[in-house]
Amino acid sequence: MKDEVCRYLNKADHAMEVAEDLLGGGHAPDAASKIYYAMYYAAQALLKNEGIDVIKHSAVEAAFGYYFAKPGRIDPKFHKMLINARKIREIADYDIDEEIVEPVASLKIDEGKAFLSAMKKFIGV
């Protein structure tokens, strides 16, 4: 496995661990944001593993859909999870009128773990 792919997976694992700590401490919005980043890093690892270089969040999302979800290489539900996690993160980070609550963050933790597991399995880790 490429060193860069390994570093992205390590960042994904770390972000998920921090998300769980934040949720346990009663910080659901911050946990939701970190969950998205765990998924973003895992998606980056998958793309880098295939030699696909994109940086912008929207480009990662689009490339993930184009190269993996659309052709059925990965279950399209994971693409939807990534898209939804980004929307939740944007609400958590930027929206002053809407609050992310614990049940939403808990659900996202479960989805984030499933997402990371699927990316690692695809990469062969």
The confidence score (pLDDT) of residue 93 equals 87
The confidence score (pLDDT) of residue 92 equals 87
* Interval 46-75: pLDDT, tens: 999 999 999 899 999 999 999 999 999 999
Kindly state whether residue 101 falls inside one of the protein's structural domains: yes
Kindly state whether residue 21 falls inside one of the protein's structural domains: yes
Residue ranges making up the domain that contains 44: 3-120
CA–CA distances in Å: residue 67 to residues 54, 73, 84, 87, 101: 12, 8, 19, 21, 33
CATH of the domain at 58: 1.20.120.330
Please write down the long-range contacts of 78-84, taking CB distance under 8 Å and 24 or more positions apart. Answer: 78/114, 78/115, 78/118, 78/119, 81/39, 81/111, 81/114, 81/115, 82/39, 82/40, 82/43, 82/115, 84/111
The confidence score (pLDDT) of residue 1 equals 67
Question: Which residues of the chain fall short of a pLDDT of 50?
Answer: none
The confidence score (pLDDT) of residue 11 equals 98
Kindly state whether residue 125 falls inside one of the protein's structural domains: no
Number of compact structural domains in the chain: 1
Kindly state whether residue 87 falls inside one of the protein's structural domains: yes
Kindly state whether residue 90 falls inside one of the protein's structural domains: yes
The confidence score (pLDDT) of residue 60 equals 97
Kindly state whether residue 94 falls inside one of the protein's structural domains: yes
User: Rounded to an integer, what distance in angstroms lies between the CA atom of residue 59 and that of residue 57?
Assistant: 5
